[in-house]
Amino acid sequence: MIGYYVHHHGVGHLTRARSVAKHLSGPVTVLSSRPRPADITPFADWVDLPMDTGDDASDPTAGGVLHWAPTRVPGMTSRMALLAEWVGNHRPAAMVVDVSVEVSMFVRLMGIPVVVFAMPGERTDAPHLMAYRIADRIVAPWSDAVYRPDWLADVDDKTTYTGSISRHADRTDGATTRDDASVAVLAGAGGSQVTTDYLDLVGNHTPELSWRGIGIPGTPWVDDVWPTLTSAGVVVTHAGQNAVADVAASGAPTVVIAENRPYGEQLATARALGQAGLAVALDAWPAPDEWPDIMDRVRSMSGDIRVATRVDGAAARAAAAVDEVLA
C-alpha cells in the first residue's frame, strides 16, 4: 500500500495525484481534507482528514519551525491522530506528500519513507528546506531544462525532474486545426484576478478576436477543456502547474500570466517559460489596450512547448521515482 497525501487547496494536487497513481506499482490510498469525490478512480481508498483550522489557533508556525501547526485547534489534533492511526494500521511502503511540510515530518517520524513533491518559487525558508532534507525522494514536476532552482541543488542526488504532468498527455482526440481568431482564457480554481468585465474590455481592443473565459466566475462550467485547448488560436493561462502542463500538452501558442500565490510560485513558473522562449510571460494581468501587442508577440514564437516541458511520460517518471523508494 502507498499512502498519498493530497492538499485540499484548489484542484491541482488531486488532478496530479490521479495522473501519477495510474502508473504506480501498488494500490494507493489518498489522505486529504478535500471532500471525497464521487469517483475515486484510480485510487483504492480515500481517508477523510479533518480541517486543521480554527478561530483560536495559536503559534501556527511553532516558532518558525513549521508552516502550519497551530495549538488549540481540535481539528489539527484529530487530523494527526487519524493520520497516525492509518499509518499504524496499514504500514504503507511509502507516503507521497503533495504538499505539506507537517505531514512529511510526521510520517517520517513514524518510520515511513516519504516522497515529497517540490513546488516552484522561492522555497528557501527553514520548513521547506527541512522537508526536502528529510525526504527519501523529491519529485519536481517540471522540466529541468526550463526551471532548475538553486535551492534544490543541495538535494539534487535525490530529486527527479519529471517534466510537466498533464492529465491530457495521452489524448489523441483533440482538434486538428486551430481557429486563429479564437482566444481561450483559463482561470485557476485557486483564485484569479481576471473577470468577465475585463475580457469585455480586452475584446473592445481586439475586435477581430473572439475571447472565451473558462473557470472565470460568471462563465459556463466546462467539464472537458481539451477540445478548447486544441482548437484555440491562442491560450491565455494562469501559471499554475497543472494548467501550464495541460496547455503545453495541447501545443497551443501560449500567454502565461502569474497570479499571486505564496512563495512566488506562479511568478517563478511564468518567468521560466518566458526565459525559455516557450510563452509570452507576464507578471500580472496587463491593461486591456496592451493585448494587440501581446497577440503579435505570441504569434511570432516558435518554441515547441510540449517537447520542452517534457509532458510525454512525465506522470510515469514521477511514479518511477516513488517506486524506487519501495524497492
* Chain segment 65-103, per-residue pLDDT in tens: 999 999 999 999 999 999 999 999 999 999 999 999 999
187-211: average pLDDT? 92
Assigned C-alpha cell, 119: 513546488
Write the DSSP assignment of 54-107 as a string of letters. -TT-B-TTTTTT-SS--BS-HHHHHHHHHHHHHHHHH--SEEEEES-HHHHHHH
Q: Are residues 37 and 153 in the same domain?
A: yes
In a domain, 174, yes or no: no
Tell me, what DSSP letter sits at residue 289?
G
Q: What are phi and psi of 9, to 5 degrees?
A: -75, 130
Q: For the chain, what is the domain count?
A: 2
- What would the pLDDT profile of 226-265 be if each residue is shown by its tens digit? 999 999 999 999 999 999 999 999 999 999 999 999 999 9
Calculate the CA 26 to chain-centre distance. 23
Q: Which domain holds residue 86?
A: 2-165+312-326
Average pLDDT score, the chain: 96
Q: Are residues 145 and 254 in the same domain?
A: no
Assigned C-alpha cell, 31: 489522505
In a domain, 173, yes or no: no
Assigned C-alpha cell, 39: 469517483
In a domain, 136, yes or no: yes
* % pLDDT > 90, the chain: 92
Helix (H) or strand (E) holding 16: helix 12-21
Q: Is the pLDDT of residue 126 over 90?
A: yes
Q: Are residues 21 and 159 in the same domain?
A: yes
Q: Are residues 284 and 322 in the same domain?
A: no
Q: Which pLDDT band, with edges at 50, 70 and 90, does 327 fall under?
A: confident
End-to-end CA distance of the chain: 13
User: For residue 258, what is the domain's CATH number?
Assistant: 3.40.50.2000
Q: Is the pLDDT of residue 225 over 90?
A: yes
Q: Are residues 54 and 161 in the same domain?
A: yes
Residue 209 is predicted with a pLDDT of 98
- Taking only Cα atoms into account, the Rg of the chain, rounded to an integer number of angstroms, comes to 20
